[in-house]
Amino acid sequence: MKAEEIRTISVVGVGLMGHGIAQEFALAGYEVHIHDLSPEKLQQAVQNIRSNLHMLTQIGLVLPEQVEPGLGRIHPHLELREAVSGADVVIEAVFENLELKQEIFQQLDRWAPPHAILASNTSTLLPSQLAVATRRPDKVLVAHYFNPPYLLPLVEVVRGKETSQETVTTIYDLLTRIGKKPALVQKEVPGFIGNRLQVALLREALSIVQQGIAHPQDVDIVIKNGFGRRLAAAGVFEVFEIAGWDLILAVMQYLLSDIESSSEIPPLLQEKVARGELGVKTGKGFYDWTPESAEKLRQRIARALAEIARWP
């Protein structure tokens, strides 16, 4: 099936990620069938979509006249079978648990039409681990969104060993049609692209703090006010095309042996977690938090992402 023939999307599990994924397809004109475990969870998802859309109209990313028609295209279902029986594409976004996801994929395979593509929003599992639960491994892949999905355009499209080129092309084109920026991961590996890069940066940041080179606040200042800003506009390959690869070769020659390369969990991270200093949710991490200061940070991030979302 080609992307332009797709009409109906099902989203299974409409928590933090799933409701945002459903919202985007509904806004783009698709009929979206959603499924979760209870009427309350379904209601909450629709409520969350309504308040997101309200926020998006206030910042000018959505027109007020798009809101009600968008919401009208969302159809909640308590029965999984009902939710997926007319689907062209199913996106699964339930808890991150292999057994649960395999069980869901087995049911999706049973109840979704034979032509339907089955995609998972998993952050850590590989498409092949889900495809084995189905009789259509050629139509299974990962479509990994970033949070919040309605402000971050990236979706990593990860092909499994048996995913067909047709499936990859259809999902890639579908996502492009609704304004997402898909990136293709050709080989299934843990962390795909985005989380491998983020974890590499975080490992070095933790090492800098652990060695007493700088406080966490100053590491964050460097990222937010220096190269982090540039990275919102250009990727590393683009940036170093401009700087010149000879320059980065010289930098690597002198720096590489000094930066962190351990495959152990960073001791500083282990200590933080052992002390229960988990960040916003316990009121303390590398910073101290009140509910108000945490909300202020969330708002600051959302406002900045909304600004960037306006860029061409």
Ligand X SMILES: NC(=O)c1ccc[n+]([C@@H]2O[C@H](COP(=O)([O-])OP(=O)(O)OC[C@H]3O[C@@H](n4cnc5c(N)ncnc54)[C@H](O)[C@@H]3O)[C@@H](O)[C@H]2O)c1
Question: Which residues form the interface with ligand X (CB under 6 A)?
Answer: 12-18, 35-37, 41, 93-96, 100, 104, 121-123, 144-145, 147
Query: Is 123 one of the annotated active-site residues of the chain?
Result: yes
Residue placing its CB nearer to ligand X in the complex, 96 or 295: 96
Element (H or E) spanning 129, and its range?
Answer: helix 127-131
Q: Is 154 exposed, middle or buried (0-12, 13-18, 19+ CB in 10 A)?
A: middle
> In whole angstroms, how close is the CB of 149 to ligand X at the nearest point?
8
C-beta closer to ligand X: residue 122 or 167: 122
Catalytic annotation, pick one of 82, 195, 207, 277: 195
The smaller minimum CB distance to ligand X, of residues 125 and 209, is found at: 125
From its phi and psi, is residue 179 left (phi > 0), alpha (psi between -120 and 50) or beta? left
Cβ(168)–Cβ(157) below 8 Å: yes
CB of 12 to ligand X, least distance (A): 5
Angle between helices 236-243 and 245-255 (to 10 degrees): 100
Question: Shortest Cβ distance from residue 255 to ligand X (Å)?
Answer: 31
Q: How far from 148 is each of 18, 145, 211, 213, 305, CA to CA, in Å?
A: 10, 8, 33, 33, 9
Indicate if 188 belongs to the active site.
Answer: no
From the candidates 52, 123, 128, 188, which is the catalytic residue? 123
Residue 195 annotated among the catalytic residues of the structure: yes
CB 124 to ligand X: min, Å:
6
Which residues are CB-neighbours of 136 under 8 A, at least 6 positions away?
109, 114, 118
Catalytic residue among 19, 33, 35, 144: 144
Instruction: Name the closest residue to ligand X (Cβ).
Output: 15
Q: Which is nearer to ligand X, 122 or 134 (CB)?
A: 122
Catalytic one of 24, 92, 156, 188: 156
Residues 6 or more apart whose CB falls under 8 angstroms from that of 39 comprise: 78
Pairing of β 154-159 and β 181-185 = parallel
Least distance (Å) between residue 19 CB and ligand X: 8
**Widest distance between CA atoms in the chain:** 60
Pick the closer one to ligand X by CB: 124 or 261.
124
**Active-site residue set:** 123, 144, 156, 195
